[in-house]
Protein backbone atom coordinates (compact mmCIF):
# COMPACT_ATOMS: atom_id res chain seq x y z
CA UNK A 1 0.00 0.00 0.00
CA UNK A 2 1.25 3.49 -0.85
CA UNK A 3 1.90 5.89 1.98
CA UNK A 4 1.05 8.75 -0.38
CA UNK A 5 -2.28 10.34 -1.09
CA UNK A 6 -3.72 9.59 -4.52
CA UNK A 7 -6.42 12.13 -5.33
CA UNK A 8 -9.04 10.21 -7.25
CA UNK A 9 -10.90 13.08 -8.90
CA UNK A 10 -8.10 15.11 -10.49
CA UNK A 11 -9.14 15.01 -14.15
CA UNK A 12 -5.73 16.29 -15.25
CA UNK A 13 -4.02 13.24 -13.71
CA UNK A 14 -6.26 10.18 -14.15
CA UNK A 15 -3.09 8.06 -13.76
CA UNK A 16 -2.31 9.44 -10.29
CA UNK A 17 -3.58 6.41 -8.36
CA UNK A 18 -1.43 4.13 -10.50
CA UNK A 19 1.85 6.06 -10.37
CA UNK A 20 1.67 6.28 -6.56
CA UNK A 21 0.86 2.58 -6.13
CA UNK A 22 4.07 0.52 -5.66
CA UNK A 23 2.47 -2.78 -6.67
CA UNK A 24 0.95 -1.35 -9.83
CA UNK A 25 4.25 0.27 -10.76
CA UNK A 26 6.14 -2.96 -10.11
CA UNK A 27 4.18 -4.62 -12.89
CA UNK A 28 4.61 -1.66 -15.22
CA UNK A 29 8.36 -1.39 -14.59
CA UNK A 30 8.76 -5.12 -15.24
CA UNK A 31 6.97 -4.80 -18.55
CA UNK A 32 8.62 -1.55 -19.69
CA UNK A 33 12.12 -2.67 -18.66
CA UNK A 34 11.72 -6.28 -19.88
CA UNK A 35 14.19 -5.87 -22.74
CA UNK A 36 16.74 -4.30 -20.47
CA UNK A 37 16.38 -6.83 -17.67
CA UNK A 38 16.62 -9.54 -20.36
CA UNK A 39 16.02 -12.47 -18.02
CA UNK A 40 19.27 -11.85 -16.16
CA UNK A 41 17.78 -9.52 -13.58
CA UNK A 42 14.63 -9.76 -11.49
CA UNK A 43 12.70 -6.70 -10.32
CA UNK A 44 11.75 -7.73 -6.79
CA UNK A 45 10.25 -4.58 -5.34
CA UNK A 46 9.32 -0.95 -5.98
CA UNK A 47 9.08 1.75 -3.29
CA UNK A 48 7.60 5.19 -3.88
CA UNK A 49 10.05 7.40 -1.99
CA UNK A 50 8.65 10.83 -2.79
CA UNK A 51 5.72 12.47 -4.54
CA UNK A 52 5.61 16.16 -5.43
CA UNK A 53 2.12 16.96 -6.53
CA UNK A 54 0.08 20.05 -7.27
CA UNK A 55 -3.57 19.47 -8.21
CA UNK A 56 -4.27 19.93 -11.92
CA UNK A 57 -0.72 21.16 -12.51
CA UNK A 58 2.18 18.76 -11.89
CA UNK A 59 3.16 15.37 -10.55
CA UNK A 60 6.74 14.19 -9.98
CA UNK A 61 7.45 10.79 -8.44
CA UNK A 62 10.67 9.19 -7.22
CA UNK A 63 11.00 5.39 -7.04
CA UNK A 64 13.55 3.05 -5.52
CA UNK A 65 13.68 -0.37 -7.16
CA UNK A 66 15.16 -3.58 -5.79
CA UNK A 67 16.81 -5.53 -8.59
CA UNK A 68 18.44 -8.96 -8.11
CA UNK A 69 21.04 -10.48 -10.41
CA UNK A 70 19.77 -14.03 -10.87
CA UNK A 71 23.25 -15.42 -11.61
CA UNK A 72 25.09 -13.90 -8.63
CA UNK A 73 22.25 -13.25 -6.21
CA UNK A 74 23.53 -9.72 -5.75
CA UNK A 75 20.90 -7.05 -5.05
CA UNK A 76 21.00 -3.39 -6.11
CA UNK A 77 18.59 -0.55 -5.44
CA UNK A 78 18.58 1.84 -8.39
CA UNK A 79 16.53 5.05 -8.26
CA UNK A 80 14.25 6.47 -10.95
CA UNK A 81 12.71 9.90 -11.25
CA UNK A 82 9.48 10.32 -13.21
CA UNK A 83 7.72 13.38 -14.58
CA UNK A 84 4.06 12.54 -15.01
CA UNK A 85 2.43 14.75 -17.61
CA UNK A 86 -1.29 15.63 -17.50
CA UNK A 87 -3.28 12.74 -18.93
CA UNK A 88 -4.74 14.57 -21.92
CA UNK A 89 -1.44 15.92 -23.22
CA UNK A 90 0.05 12.79 -24.80
CA UNK A 91 1.62 14.61 -27.75
CA UNK A 92 3.21 17.19 -25.46
CA UNK A 93 4.68 14.45 -23.25
CA UNK A 94 6.09 12.62 -26.26
CA UNK A 95 7.68 15.87 -27.47
CA UNK A 96 9.28 16.43 -24.06
CA UNK A 97 10.63 12.89 -24.13
CA UNK A 98 12.11 13.44 -27.60
CA UNK A 99 13.78 16.64 -26.39
CA UNK A 100 15.19 14.85 -23.34
CA UNK A 101 16.45 11.99 -25.52
CA UNK A 102 18.48 14.44 -27.58
CA UNK A 103 20.63 15.20 -24.51
CA UNK A 104 23.63 13.04 -23.72
CA UNK A 105 22.68 10.45 -21.10
CA UNK A 106 24.90 8.45 -18.78
CA UNK A 107 24.10 4.74 -19.06
CA UNK A 108 23.63 3.10 -15.62
CA UNK A 109 24.38 -0.60 -15.24
CA UNK A 110 20.90 -1.87 -14.45
CA UNK A 111 18.28 0.31 -16.11
CA UNK A 112 17.77 2.36 -19.28
CA UNK A 113 18.95 5.92 -18.86
CA UNK A 114 15.69 7.33 -20.18
CA UNK A 115 12.33 5.77 -20.94
CA UNK A 116 8.82 6.91 -21.96
CA UNK A 117 5.85 5.05 -20.44
CA UNK A 118 3.22 6.01 -22.98
CA UNK A 119 0.24 4.51 -21.14
CA UNK A 120 1.00 6.70 -18.12
CA UNK A 121 2.19 9.74 -20.05
CA UNK A 122 5.34 9.49 -17.96
CA UNK A 123 9.03 10.21 -18.67
CA UNK A 124 11.46 8.24 -16.50
CA UNK A 125 15.13 9.03 -15.83
CA UNK A 126 17.40 6.48 -14.12
CA UNK A 127 19.78 8.03 -11.57
CA UNK A 128 22.30 9.66 -11.96
CA UNK A 129 20.56 11.04 -15.04
CA UNK A 130 18.40 14.04 -14.23
CA UNK A 131 16.84 16.66 -16.51
CA UNK A 132 18.07 19.59 -14.40
CA UNK A 133 21.21 18.06 -12.87
CA UNK A 134 22.94 16.98 -16.05
CA UNK A 135 26.37 17.28 -14.38
CA UNK A 136 25.48 14.93 -11.51
CA UNK A 137 26.96 11.78 -13.08
CA UNK A 138 30.44 13.34 -12.93
CA UNK A 139 30.19 13.57 -9.14
CA UNK A 140 28.24 10.36 -8.56
CA UNK A 141 30.56 8.08 -10.55
CA UNK A 142 33.95 7.15 -9.06
CA UNK A 143 36.04 7.92 -12.12
CA UNK A 144 34.66 11.45 -12.41
CA UNK A 145 34.90 12.04 -8.67
CA UNK A 146 38.55 10.92 -8.49
CA UNK A 147 39.39 13.39 -11.24
CA UNK A 148 37.70 16.20 -9.27
CA UNK A 149 39.40 15.27 -5.99
CA UNK A 150 42.86 15.05 -7.53
CA UNK A 151 42.38 18.50 -9.06
CA UNK A 152 41.47 19.93 -5.63
CA UNK A 153 43.76 17.80 -3.50
CA UNK A 154 45.27 20.74 -1.59
CA UNK A 155 41.83 21.65 -0.21
CA UNK A 156 41.50 18.22 1.39
CA UNK A 157 44.47 18.96 3.68
CA UNK A 158 45.90 15.43 3.69
CA UNK A 159 49.64 14.59 3.89
CA UNK A 160 51.38 15.51 0.61
CA UNK A 161 52.79 12.02 0.11
CA UNK A 162 49.47 10.23 0.64
CA UNK A 163 48.02 8.84 -2.58
CA UNK A 164 44.26 8.69 -3.06
CA UNK A 165 43.58 5.05 -3.95
CA UNK A 166 39.80 4.71 -3.91
CA UNK A 167 36.44 6.11 -2.96
CA UNK A 168 33.06 4.73 -1.92
CA UNK A 169 30.03 6.93 -2.56
CA UNK A 170 26.64 6.77 -0.86
CA UNK A 171 23.57 8.74 -1.91
CA UNK A 172 22.24 10.70 1.09
CA UNK A 173 19.49 12.91 -0.28
CA UNK A 174 18.34 13.26 -3.85
CA UNK A 175 15.70 15.83 -4.77
CA UNK A 176 15.15 15.37 -8.52
CA UNK A 177 15.64 18.46 -10.70
CA UNK A 178 16.98 20.36 -7.69
CA UNK A 179 19.91 18.91 -5.69
CA UNK A 180 21.75 15.78 -4.67
CA UNK A 181 23.85 15.24 -1.53
CA UNK A 182 26.40 12.41 -1.58
CA UNK A 183 28.70 10.97 1.08
CA UNK A 184 32.18 10.01 -0.12
CA UNK A 185 34.59 7.88 1.89
CA UNK A 186 38.14 8.44 0.61
CA UNK A 187 40.94 5.90 1.02
CA UNK A 188 44.68 6.68 0.90
CA UNK A 189 47.68 4.38 0.53
CA UNK A 190 49.01 5.30 3.98
CA UNK A 191 45.84 3.95 5.60
CA UNK A 192 44.31 7.39 6.08
CA UNK A 193 40.54 7.67 5.58
CA UNK A 194 38.52 10.81 5.07
CA UNK A 195 34.78 11.38 4.82
CA UNK A 196 33.53 14.31 2.77
CA UNK A 197 30.15 15.30 1.34
CA UNK A 198 29.22 16.84 -1.97
CA UNK A 199 26.11 18.82 -2.84
CA UNK A 200 25.32 19.24 -6.53
CA UNK A 201 22.79 21.95 -7.34
CA UNK A 202 20.77 22.82 -10.39
CA UNK A 203 21.98 25.73 -12.50
CA UNK A 204 19.34 28.12 -11.17
CA UNK A 205 20.91 27.95 -7.72
CA UNK A 206 23.97 30.08 -6.96
CA UNK A 207 26.23 27.43 -5.47
CA UNK A 208 29.13 29.85 -5.15
CA UNK A 209 27.07 32.19 -2.93
CA UNK A 210 26.05 29.23 -0.78
CA UNK A 211 29.71 28.24 -0.42
CA UNK A 212 30.66 31.82 0.60
CA UNK A 213 27.82 31.79 3.13
CA UNK A 214 29.23 28.61 4.64
CA UNK A 215 32.70 30.14 4.82
CA UNK A 216 31.34 33.21 6.62
CA UNK A 217 29.41 31.12 9.12
CA UNK A 218 32.39 28.82 9.65
CA UNK A 219 34.48 31.83 10.70
CA UNK A 220 31.73 33.49 12.78
CA UNK A 221 31.83 33.68 16.56
CA UNK A 222 28.70 31.53 16.96
CA UNK A 223 30.46 28.65 15.17
CA UNK A 224 33.98 29.23 16.45
CA UNK A 225 32.72 29.17 20.06
CA UNK A 226 30.88 25.91 19.40
CA UNK A 227 27.36 27.22 20.07
CA UNK A 228 26.58 25.97 16.58
CA UNK A 229 28.60 23.64 14.40
CA UNK A 230 28.59 23.54 10.61
CA UNK A 231 30.45 21.24 8.22
CA UNK A 232 33.80 22.75 7.23
CA UNK A 233 33.54 24.10 3.66
CA UNK A 234 36.40 22.65 1.58
CA UNK A 235 36.02 23.78 -2.04
CA UNK A 236 33.54 24.70 -4.75
CA UNK A 237 33.61 23.41 -8.34
CA UNK A 238 32.02 26.09 -10.47
CA UNK A 239 31.45 24.15 -13.69
CA UNK A 240 29.63 21.42 -11.72
CA UNK A 241 27.86 23.85 -9.35
CA UNK A 242 28.95 21.49 -6.58
CA UNK A 243 30.05 22.20 -3.01
CA UNK A 244 32.39 19.89 -1.07
CA UNK A 245 32.51 19.87 2.74
CA UNK A 246 34.23 17.84 5.45
CA UNK A 247 31.93 15.27 7.01
CA UNK A 248 30.53 15.52 10.53
CA UNK A 249 29.80 12.33 12.45
CA UNK A 250 26.37 12.72 13.97
CA UNK A 251 22.70 11.76 13.96
CA UNK A 252 19.87 13.48 12.14
CA UNK A 253 18.01 15.34 14.87
CA UNK A 254 14.49 14.77 13.51
CA UNK A 255 15.11 11.04 13.00
CA UNK A 256 16.11 10.53 16.64
CA UNK A 257 13.56 12.59 18.54
CA UNK A 258 12.92 9.81 21.04
CA UNK A 259 16.50 10.06 22.30
CA UNK A 260 16.68 13.86 22.37
CA UNK A 261 16.17 16.21 25.27
CA UNK A 262 13.96 18.37 23.05
CA UNK A 263 13.70 21.15 25.62
CA UNK A 264 17.48 21.54 25.89
CA UNK A 265 18.00 21.22 22.14
CA UNK A 266 15.36 23.89 21.47
CA UNK A 267 17.21 26.28 23.80
CA UNK A 268 20.51 25.62 22.02
CA UNK A 269 18.88 26.26 18.66
CA UNK A 270 17.38 29.53 19.87
CA UNK A 271 20.81 30.78 20.96
CA UNK A 272 22.45 29.61 17.74
CA UNK A 273 19.83 31.13 15.47
CA UNK A 274 20.21 34.54 17.09
CA UNK A 275 23.97 34.33 16.53
CA UNK A 276 23.69 33.21 12.90
CA UNK A 277 21.27 36.02 12.09
CA UNK A 278 23.83 38.61 13.21
CA UNK A 279 26.35 37.46 10.58
CA UNK A 280 26.83 39.48 7.39
CA UNK A 281 27.11 37.84 3.96
CA UNK A 282 28.34 39.90 1.02
CA UNK A 283 25.97 39.55 -1.90
CA UNK A 284 23.17 37.88 0.05
CA UNK A 285 19.90 38.58 -1.77
CA UNK A 286 16.98 40.32 -0.09
CA UNK A 287 13.78 38.38 0.41
CA UNK A 288 10.44 39.85 -0.56
CA UNK A 289 9.71 40.14 3.15
CA UNK A 290 6.27 39.71 4.64
CA UNK A 291 4.79 40.10 1.17
CA UNK A 292 6.40 36.78 0.22
CA UNK A 293 4.92 35.09 3.30
CA UNK A 294 1.52 36.50 2.40
CA UNK A 295 1.92 35.33 -1.20
CA UNK A 296 2.68 31.79 0.04
CA UNK A 297 -0.51 31.84 2.11
CA UNK A 298 -2.54 32.94 -0.92
CA UNK A 299 -0.91 30.22 -3.02
CA UNK A 300 -1.86 27.71 -0.32
CA UNK A 301 -5.46 28.88 -0.60
CA UNK A 302 -5.48 27.99 -4.31
CA UNK A 303 -3.81 24.59 -3.79
CA UNK A 304 -5.99 23.57 -0.84
CA UNK A 305 -9.10 24.77 -2.63
CA UNK A 306 -8.36 22.69 -5.71
CA UNK A 307 -7.71 19.66 -3.56
CA UNK A 308 -10.83 20.04 -1.41
CA UNK A 309 -13.16 23.06 -1.61
CA UNK A 310 -14.30 22.38 1.97
CA UNK A 311 -11.08 24.05 3.18
CA UNK A 312 -11.87 27.37 1.52
CA UNK A 313 -14.14 29.11 4.09
CA UNK A 314 -11.59 28.80 6.90
CA UNK A 315 -8.65 29.63 4.64
CA UNK A 316 -10.36 32.75 3.30
CA UNK A 317 -11.15 33.93 6.83
CA UNK A 318 -7.57 33.28 7.92
CA UNK A 319 -6.08 35.18 4.98
CA UNK A 320 -8.39 38.15 5.58
CA UNK A 321 -7.23 38.28 9.22
CA UNK A 322 -3.56 38.09 8.18
CA UNK A 323 -4.00 40.89 5.65
CA UNK A 324 -5.77 43.09 8.18
CA UNK A 325 -2.97 42.75 10.76
CA UNK A 326 -0.06 43.00 8.36
CA UNK A 327 0.27 46.78 8.15
CA UNK A 328 0.31 47.16 11.96
CA UNK A 329 3.19 44.77 12.71
CA UNK A 330 6.26 45.91 14.64
CA UNK A 331 8.94 46.85 12.08
CA UNK A 332 12.26 44.98 12.29
CA UNK A 333 15.66 45.47 10.60
CA UNK A 334 16.56 42.89 7.93
CA UNK A 335 18.87 40.10 9.09
CA UNK A 336 20.40 36.96 7.63
CA UNK A 337 17.69 34.30 7.63
CA UNK A 338 17.76 30.63 6.75
CA UNK A 339 14.29 30.56 5.09
CA UNK A 340 13.56 26.89 5.93
CA UNK A 341 14.54 26.67 9.59
CA UNK A 342 13.45 23.40 11.21
CA UNK A 343 14.83 20.46 13.17
CA UNK A 344 15.48 18.40 10.03
CA UNK A 345 18.29 20.84 9.15
CA UNK A 346 20.38 19.69 12.14
CA UNK A 347 22.73 16.92 13.16
CA UNK A 348 23.47 16.10 16.78
CA UNK A 349 27.26 15.78 17.01
CA UNK A 350 28.64 14.74 20.42
CA UNK A 351 25.90 16.64 22.21
CA UNK A 352 26.23 19.75 20.03
CA UNK A 353 24.06 20.88 17.15
CA UNK A 354 25.29 21.20 13.59
CA UNK A 355 23.39 23.13 10.94
CA UNK A 356 23.71 21.32 7.60
CA UNK A 357 21.60 23.18 5.02
CA UNK A 358 22.59 26.59 3.61
CA UNK A 359 20.77 26.80 0.29
CA UNK A 360 18.29 29.60 0.95
CA UNK A 361 19.98 32.20 3.15
CA UNK A 362 18.69 35.71 2.37
CA UNK A 363 18.28 39.05 4.12
CA UNK A 364 14.79 39.29 5.56
CA UNK A 365 12.57 39.47 8.61
CA UNK A 366 14.47 37.60 11.36
CA UNK A 367 11.26 36.41 13.02
CA UNK A 368 10.42 34.45 9.86
CA UNK A 369 13.03 31.86 10.94
CA UNK A 370 11.68 31.82 14.49
CA UNK A 371 8.16 31.23 13.21
CA UNK A 372 9.39 28.55 10.79
CA UNK A 373 10.88 26.59 13.70
CA UNK A 374 7.80 27.14 15.89
CA UNK A 375 5.49 25.98 13.07
CA UNK A 376 7.67 22.88 12.66
CA UNK A 377 7.44 22.12 16.40
CA UNK A 378 3.66 22.54 16.22
CA UNK A 379 3.52 20.05 13.35
CA UNK A 380 5.50 17.30 15.13
CA UNK A 381 2.61 16.22 17.43
CA UNK A 382 0.33 15.88 14.38
CA UNK A 383 2.78 13.28 13.05
CA UNK A 384 2.86 11.54 16.43
CA UNK A 385 6.58 12.20 16.89
CA UNK A 386 6.34 14.19 20.14
CA UNK A 387 3.54 14.96 22.58
CA UNK A 388 1.66 18.25 22.58
CA UNK A 389 3.21 19.06 25.99
CA UNK A 390 6.74 18.42 24.66
CA UNK A 391 6.06 20.62 21.66
CA UNK A 392 4.76 23.55 23.71
CA UNK A 393 7.60 23.33 26.25
CA UNK A 394 10.20 23.29 23.46
CA UNK A 395 8.58 26.31 21.81
CA UNK A 396 8.76 28.31 25.03
CA UNK A 397 12.39 27.33 25.64
CA UNK A 398 13.38 28.14 22.04
CA UNK A 399 11.64 31.53 22.01
CA UNK A 400 13.02 32.55 25.40
CA UNK A 401 16.60 31.64 24.41
CA UNK A 402 16.29 33.45 21.07
CA UNK A 403 14.79 36.63 22.58
CA UNK A 404 17.62 36.85 25.12
CA UNK A 405 20.30 36.81 22.38
CA UNK A 406 18.69 38.68 19.47
CA UNK A 407 19.31 42.48 19.55
CA UNK A 408 15.76 43.09 18.22
CA UNK A 409 14.13 40.75 20.76
CA UNK A 410 11.03 38.78 19.83
CA UNK A 411 7.98 41.02 19.19
CA UNK A 412 4.93 38.91 20.00
CA UNK A 413 2.73 40.44 17.30
CA UNK A 414 5.25 39.49 14.59
CA UNK A 415 5.73 35.98 16.02
CA UNK A 416 1.96 35.38 16.06
CA UNK A 417 1.46 36.69 12.52
CA UNK A 418 4.43 34.84 11.02
CA UNK A 419 3.56 31.53 12.72
CA UNK A 420 -0.08 31.59 11.62
CA UNK A 421 0.93 32.52 8.07
CA UNK A 422 3.54 29.77 7.87
CA UNK A 423 1.22 27.10 9.27
CA UNK A 424 -0.98 27.84 6.27
CA UNK A 425 1.54 28.86 3.61
CA UNK A 426 4.14 26.18 4.31
CA UNK A 427 2.94 23.36 6.56
CA UNK A 428 -0.62 22.93 5.29
CA UNK A 429 0.43 23.42 1.68
CA UNK A 430 3.23 20.87 2.11
CA UNK A 431 0.71 18.21 3.19
CA UNK A 432 -0.84 18.44 -0.27
CA UNK A 433 2.25 19.08 -2.40
CA UNK A 434 4.21 16.22 -0.86
CA UNK A 435 1.11 14.01 -0.90
CA UNK A 436 1.24 13.41 2.84
CA UNK A 437 -0.80 10.52 4.20
CA UNK A 438 -3.77 11.52 6.40
CA UNK A 439 -3.64 14.90 4.72
CA UNK A 440 -7.25 15.86 5.54
CA UNK A 441 -6.79 15.46 9.28
CA UNK A 442 -3.41 17.22 9.30
CA UNK A 443 -4.56 20.16 7.19
CA UNK A 444 -7.65 20.54 9.38
CA UNK A 445 -5.53 20.62 12.55
CA UNK A 446 -3.00 23.05 11.05
CA UNK A 447 -5.73 25.47 9.99
CA UNK A 448 -7.33 25.28 13.44
CA UNK A 449 -3.96 25.98 15.07
CA UNK A 450 -3.33 28.98 12.81
CA UNK A 451 -6.72 30.51 13.63
CA UNK A 452 -6.30 29.86 17.37
CA UNK A 453 -2.84 31.47 17.40
CA UNK A 454 -4.04 34.50 15.49
CA UNK A 455 -7.07 35.14 17.71
CA UNK A 456 -5.12 34.57 20.94
CA UNK A 457 -6.66 31.30 22.12
CA UNK A 458 -3.34 29.48 21.57
CA UNK A 459 -0.40 31.17 23.32
CA UNK A 460 3.11 30.59 21.99
CA UNK A 461 5.12 32.25 24.78
Output the domain CATH number for residue 32. Answer: 3.30.200
Residues 104 and 148 placed together within one structural domain of the fold: no
Distances (CA, A) of 456 to 322, 368, 373, 461: 13, 19, 19, 11
Q: Does 223 map to a domain?
A: no
Residues 22 and 110 placed together within one structural domain of the fold: yes
Instruction: Look at residue 435 and give its three-state secondary structure.
Output: coil
* Residue 352 φ/ψ region, left for φ over 0, alpha for ψ in the -120 to 50 degree band, beta for the rest: beta
Residue 8 pLDDT more than 70?
no
Q: Does 311 map to a domain?
A: yes
pLDDT tens sequence across 43-60: 999 999 999 988 888 899
Residues 432 and 285 placed together within one structural domain of the fold: yes
pLDDT recorded at residue 5? 56
Residues 239 and 274 placed together within one structural domain of the fold: no
Helices 262-277, 367-379: inter-axial angle, 10-degree rounding: 160
Residues 257 and 374 placed together within one structural domain of the fold: yes
Residues 200 and 56 placed together within one structural domain of the fold: no
Among residues 276, 227, 272, 262, which one has the least CA distance to residue 396? 262
N- to C-terminal Cα separation, the chain: 41
Q: Does 372 map to a domain?
A: yes
Q: Does 382 map to a domain?
A: yes
The answer to whether residues 132 and 100 touch, using CB atoms and an 8 Å cutoff, is no
Residue after which a domain boundary falls, among 92, 126, 160: 126
- For 410, the domain range is 251-454
Q: For residues 379-394, give the mean pLDDT.
A: 94
Q: For residues 132-150, give the mean pLDDT.
A: 94
Q: Does 60 map to a domain?
A: yes
Residues 149 and 113 placed together within one structural domain of the fold: no
pLDDT recorded at residue 1? 42
d(CA 42, CA 52): 28
- β-strand partners of 84: 59, 122
Residues 305 and 450 placed together within one structural domain of the fold: yes
Residues 46 and 155 placed together within one structural domain of the fold: no
Q: For residues 375-387, give the mean pLDDT.
A: 94
Q: For residues 188-212, give the mean pLDDT.
A: 93
Q: Does 1 map to a domain?
A: no
**Percent with pLDDT over 70 in the chain:** 97
Domain tally, the chain: 3
Give the number of other Cβ atoms within 10 Å of residue 219's Cβ: 11
Helix (H) or strand (E) holding 296: helix 290-307
Residues 238 and 263 placed together within one structural domain of the fold: no
Amino acid sequence: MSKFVAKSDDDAFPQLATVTDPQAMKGIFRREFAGFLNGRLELENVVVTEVRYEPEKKCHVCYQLRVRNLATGKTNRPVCFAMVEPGLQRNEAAAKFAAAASDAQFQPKLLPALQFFAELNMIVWAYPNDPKLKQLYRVARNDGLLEILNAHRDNLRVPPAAKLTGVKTQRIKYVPRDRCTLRHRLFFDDGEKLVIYSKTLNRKTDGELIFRTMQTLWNSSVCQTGEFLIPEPLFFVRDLNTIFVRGLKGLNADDHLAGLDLDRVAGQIGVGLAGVQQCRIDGAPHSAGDEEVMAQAIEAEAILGKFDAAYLPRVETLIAALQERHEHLTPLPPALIHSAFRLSQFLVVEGKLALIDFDDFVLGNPIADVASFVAHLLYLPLKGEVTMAQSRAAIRRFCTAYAARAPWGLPNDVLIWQTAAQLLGKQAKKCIRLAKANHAEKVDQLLSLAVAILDGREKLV
